Amino acid sequence: MIERTKSHYEVIVIGAGVAGIYQIKLLADLGVDATVLDAAADLGGTWYWNRYPGARFDSESYTYGFSFSKELLDEWHWKERFSGQPENLRYLNYVADKFDLRKYMQFNCKVESAHFDEAKDLWRLKVADGRELTSRFVIMAIGLLSIPTPPRLKGMEKFKGRSFHTFHWPQEKVDLAGKKVAVIGTGATGIQVIAEIADKVADLTVFQRRPNWSAPLNNGPISDAEMADIRARYDEIFATCSRTPGGFEHEPDRRGFYEVSREERVKLWDRLYNTPGFAIWLRNFREIFTDEKANAEFSEYVAERIRQRVKDPVIAEKLIPRDHGFGVQRVPMETRYFEVYNRDNAHLVDISETPIVEVTETGLRTTERDYDFDIIVYATGFDAITGAFDHIDIRGVGGTKLRDKWSDGPSTFLGVFVHGFPNFLMPSGPQSGSASTNYPRGIEIGVGWCTKFLEYMWAHGYTRAEPTIEAEKRWTDHVIKMYSTMLMRKAKSWFTGYNSNVDGHEHGKTRYFVYNGGTPKYVSKIKEIAEHGYQGIVFGSASLLGQGRDTEDLGEKAAD
């Protein structure tokens, strides 16, 4: 266990999830004096917190694991094509233990503030346990969806039963047998939890504000023989992931939507509906993402599938989205979700018609009636992407608060750096390609690149680095430009910063969170920047600290 009396490190990594684990592995390999701080009682990030029934990958398990160690790849047997939370957390623990990384980690360490000390080129961090730590560099590995947002309903504190956001699903077993349960929210999380618990509770009522497009996950076990085959093909699998836009094995159909007949299109969709994972989204025609008419035709195909699966036609229509087409929001993957509504113990309440008015001592009150429950589950999403940054008091040069700088949405250079916040790195930051891809595939790219960047700084004796405002503006403009052709730009989704439970995140104010250019394009851009001496970054050296700063601007080149 790490010495808690030590107060200075060369690098402090915030977050011990997938990104933090890989980041500390690379720093440990280099012998860098580094630590990882995490607010949780143990490692795992997303997979530590989200313990709700049904929590599992939508990424093929074997594309989600780390690729950096052949030995690890040979040792680990994924048991399911889309592995569940308990196994995923075991995996991350296995990795940390195998590479002896736990000794660099400090848990129950909530970072409350991080202020840059301009005189010393240092970050000063305050931890909730009262300690003050300093480091030359801070690496933000704080996750994309780590600030849960319960609804802001009147009377929530009055409820006498149990209630929790899915992110805070209790660690001990929750006895669902014989219970009357409410689930509010039908995003990726709600859809997973609803399908998993429907046959385990006495009575389930789903409160749906807007339905989501969703399609079968097509999960299944991975046998020993299949795992042996996957192991033999790992190089090929990761090579495919690195050339596809989303970091998956799924490649878009290269044929033009309008070049093939309707019959051909339906043939492809029939196949994709039964193909595992995001195939239905990412192996589809590319026009689905950009062309209203193509998107509408495919959405109607999926609507028909829903009608076929739900017996009550009135309920079926309520489960079909009307305000957005398929795939413009994050597509939840489901396992017999629609069949839940054929069960006698399951009920759907459309709260766009009869909104929830308040939480009562015994349940929920809508404009229509009262409902009694033993358990209320809030599957109401997250303050996505920038939320975790906003929850730390981060101040850069001149005391500027990151929260203020990003109040209308993030602006970054490469999704990695922020002007005015030197020595502050985000391996999967907003607007980075690393954040908008099969997460660990993006993480390995982002963390690897940031580590090389630090090595460059150490090799040159630099103690300070930040992007120019011009470089940041060019990158942010490039990110915004890429939204112009995407139907998703109009969506009411966390992709665009929408969250009705967070002030300022109402619909209509798009936040440019996501890099839409795909992994290969992102990688070629960040590689080029590195090969040209990190153009757009201003470096400084501490050698003259106190006697005036020695800075070196290595020139500029268009980021896009």
116 DSSP β-pair partners: 123
* Residue in 102, 180, 250, 330 binding ligand NA7, rule: CB under 6 A: 330
Minimum Å distance from CB 198 to ligand NA7?
Answer: 17
388 touches ligand NA7 by CB under 6 A: no
Give one DSSP letter per residue of 513-544, joined into a string: ---TT-HHHHHHHHHHHHHTT-TTEEEEEGGG
Q: Between 297 and 334, name the residue whose CB sits nearer to ligand NA7.
A: 334
Closest approach of ligand NA7 to the CB of residue 83, in Å: 15
Which tokens sit at 24? 């500390």
The secondary structure of 336-355 as a DSSP string is: STGGGGGSTTEEEEETTTS-
Nearest to 250 by CA among 237, 234, 259, 268: 237
245 sits near ligand NA7 (criterion: CB under 6 A): no
> Which residues 134-153 are close enough to bind ligand NA7 by CB under 6 A?
145, 151
- The DSSP annotation for 272-320 comes to HHTSSTTHHHHSSBGGGGT-HHHHHHHHHHHHHHHHHH-SSHHHHHHTS
Q: Nearer Cβ to ligand NA7, position 423 or 496?
A: 496
Closest CB to ligand NA7 among residues 413, 498: 498
Contact 556, 470 (CB under 8 A): yes
**In what helix (H) or strand (E) does residue 443 lie, and over which residues does it extend?**
helix 439-460
Taking contact as CB under 6 A, which single stretch among the options 183-191, 282-290, 401-409, 457-465 is the one that binds ligand NA7? 183-191
d(CA 246, CA 388): 23
Nearest of 474, 477, 478, 470 to residue 419 by alpha carbon: 470
Q: Does 56 bind ligand NA7 (CB under 6 A)?
A: no
Comparing CB distances to ligand NA7, the nearer of 185 and 246 is: 185
The H-or-E segment that residue 140 falls in is strand 132-140
Q: Segment near ligand NA7 (CB under 6 A), from 187-195, 236-244, 312-320, 477-485? A: 187-195
Q: According to CB under 6 A, which one of 190, 245, 321, 540 is a site residue for ligand NA7?
A: 190
Q: CA 206 to CA 378: how far, in whole Å?
A: 10
Which parts of 497-516 interact with ligand NA7 (CB under 6 A)?
500-501
Q: 36 vs 188, which CB is nearer to ligand NA7?
A: 188
Which lies closer to ligand NA7 via its Cβ, residue 145 or residue 340?
Answer: 145
Minimum CB distance to ligand NA7 smaller for 185 or for 536: 185
CB of 11 to ligand NA7, least distance (A): 28
Pairing of strands 132-140, 122-127: antiparallel
Stretch that binds ligand NA7, among 217-225, 336-344, 377-385, 521-529 (CB under 6 A): 377-385
Q: Figure out which of the listed residues 181, 188, 402, 514 binds ligand NA7, where binding follows CB under 6 A.
A: 188
For residue 461, what are the CA distances in angstroms to 319, 454, 545, 551? 59, 10, 13, 12
231: contact with ligand NA7 by CB under 6 A = no
* HSE-CB of 382 using CA atoms within 13 angstroms: 23
Q: Does 84 bind ligand NA7 (CB under 6 A)?
A: no
Nearest CB to ligand NA7, comparing residues 190 and 427: 190
The structure tokens listed for 503 are 């002030």
Q: Are strands 462-467 and 537-541 parallel, antiparallel or unpaired?
A: antiparallel
Q: Select from 128-136, 185-193, 358-366, 511-519 the region that touches ligand NA7 (CB under 6 A).
A: 185-193
The CA distance from 331 to 378, in Å, is 19
Give yes or no for a contact between 510 and 497, defined as CB atoms under 8 angstroms apart: yes
DSSP 8-state class, residue 80: B
494 lies in the binding site for ligand NA7 (CB under 6 A):
yes
**CA 465 – CA 469 distance, rounded (Å):** 13
Is residue 189 a contact point for ligand NA7 (CB under 6 A)?
yes
Name which position in 186, 244, 284, 432 contacts ligand NA7 (CB under 6 A). 186
Contact (Cβ atoms closer than 8 angstroms) between residue 153 and residue 359: yes
Minimal distance in Å, beta carbon 59 to ligand NA7? Answer: 10
Q: Kindly tell me which of 139 and 188 has the beta carbon lying closer to ligand NA7.
A: 188
**Does 184 help bind ligand NA7 (rule: CB under 6 A)?**
yes
- Closest CB 351 distance from ligand NA7, rounded Å: 6
Taking every pair of Cα atoms in the chain, the longest distance, rounded to a whole number of angstroms, is 78
The answer to whether residue 415 forms part of the interface with ligand NA7 (CB under 6 A) is: no
Residues 6+ positions from 458 with CB-CB distance below 8 Å: none
**Number of residues this chain uses to bind ligand NA7 (CB under 6 A):** 20
- Is residue 187 near ligand NA7 by the rule CB under 6 A? yes
435 near 517, Cβ under 8 Å?
Answer: no
We find the least distance from the C-beta atom of residue 526 to ligand NA7, in angstroms, to be: 23
Q: Are 282 and 246 in contact (CB under 8 A)?
A: yes
> Binding ligand NA7 by CB under 6 A: which of 12, 306, 379, 385?
379
When binding is defined by CB under 6 A, the residue of 84, 325, 381, 415 that contacts ligand NA7 is: 381
> Which helix H or strand E contains 183, and what residues bound it?
strand 180-184
CA 91 from chain centre, in angstroms, equals 18
Q: Counting contacts by CB under 6 A, is residue 193 touching ligand NA7? A: no
Task: Output 21 or 182, the one with its CB closest to ligand NA7.
Answer: 182
Site for ligand NA7 contains 442 (CB under 6 A): no
What is the C-alpha to C-alpha distance for residues 145 and 242, in angstroms, rounded to an integer? Answer: 23
Cβ proximity to ligand NA7, 55 vs 111, nearer residue = 55
Closer residue to ligand NA7 (CB): 116 or 498: 498
Interacting residues with ligand NA7 between 246 and 265 (CB under 6 A): none
- Using CB under 6 A, list all residues that contact ligand NA7: 145, 151, 184-190, 209-210, 330, 351, 379-382, 494, 500-501
